[in-house]
Amino acid sequence: MKTTLVKLTATCALAFAMASGVQAQILANDPFLTGGSGYTVGSVNGQGPAVTGFTGNWYQDFNPGSVSATPISYSGTTGYQTTPGSGALVNNQDARNGRALDPSVVNAFTAASGTVYISFLMQFSSVAGYQAVELGNNTDGGRFLQLGYSVFPDFQNSTDFGITLNASGGGGVSGVFGAADTSAHLFVLQLNLTSGTDTLNAWEDPASVTGGVVTGGTEVSLSGFTAVNTPSNFLLASFLGGSAGTEVSDVRIGNTLTDVTAVPEPSVTFLALPGLGALFLVRRRMIA
């Protein structure tokens, strides 16, 4: 019986080790799940369900956005997994909606060194005005990152999806992806932090994200910048003609590519429960 107990103890230890190895160490993750302890369908303003990496409630600038239970349908990248049951954050009027990132996420963005990955799904019902995901604060002048579309000089042109760092209404460091349209798109960003200037690699609809490597898709590489404004909030903004349907979902931030492209694994405790249960039963039989 003692031998059996030793074997089961080792099995439990292995379960813990395996769980620690496979669990995605995601920093932030919001798939906009509705119902239960998640979001209520309707205005997002004032809602703040517990999700990894975010704190406080969603706030509005101009008008509120809303939460929809209808997911963004996307399956164009090998290795990327959408969250089952996900919904979407939607702007249907002139609005900027934001939620504060947890201090641990902000610290990851402002560290002297390291790598931070970001991914999200985005889709427009029409292409017009200004439509973009932003990192920064609740002001135009406080933006660190913008990714989307604009007829204004936020990006390099008014034809393609664009990305811009450290700018407000022009300037900054920017690049362009493919032509802006109403299809669902996956964007994956890799921010490389150093003690000097930073670099960023970003992909629109990569062909594959398996094995910790991004291949294919439309790639943009930016360099020679540092974070002028602290990326303390995640925001979705849409104005003028682009206000008629701008959606984002499956927002993820992590330290590895896998963190932001695969649905997070069950917790270590959950995976270890079967082993712990077996150990408990053996202990009871020995005592008996």
Would you say residue 225 lies in a domain?
yes
The number of domains in the chain is 1
Percent of the chain at pLDDT > 90 equals 66
Cβ atoms 63, 44 nearer than 8 A: no
Domain of 34, CATH number, reads: 2.60.120.560
Lowest mean pLDDT among 127-141, 146-160, 208-222, 273-287: 273-287
Q: Report the Cα 288 to chain-centroid distance in Å.
A: 52
Question: Does 11 reside within a domain?
Answer: no
Mean predicted confidence (pLDDT) in 57-75: 93
Q: Is 150 inside a domain boundary? A: yes
The kind and range of the H/E element at 256 are: none
* pLDDT level of residue 238 (50, 70, 90 thresholds): very high
Q: What percent of the chain has pLDDT over 70?
A: 81
- The tens digit of pLDDT for each residue in 125-175 reads 999 999 999 999 877 778 899 999 999 988 999 999 999 998 765 568 999
Residue 197: CB atoms within 10 A of its CB come to 11
Selected residue with higher pLDDT from 131 and 15 = 131
Average of pLDDT values for 89-98?
91
Question: What number of other Cβ atoms are within 10 A of residue 121's Cβ?
Answer: 24
Closest listed residue to residue 233, CA positions, set 134, 95, 108: 134
Question: Is residue 17 a contact partner of residue 10, using CB atoms and an 8 Å limit?
Answer: no
First to last CA, the chain: 12
Q: Is residue 274 part of a domain?
A: no
Give me the domain span that covers residue 260: 26-266
Q: How much is the pLDDT for 234?
A: 97
State mean pLDDT over 201-205.
Answer: 98
Residues 30-47 as b/e (b if ≥16 CB within 10 A, e otherwise) read bbbbbeeebbeeeebeee
Asked if residue 280 belongs to a domain, the reply is no
Residue 1 lies in a domain: no
pLDDT at position 249 over 70:
yes
Residue 284, domain member (yes or no): no
Let me know if residue 81 belongs to a domain: yes
Residue 205's identity, in one-letter code, is: D
Dump pLDDT digits (tens) for 79-91.
999 999 999 999 9
More confident residue, 44 or 21: 44
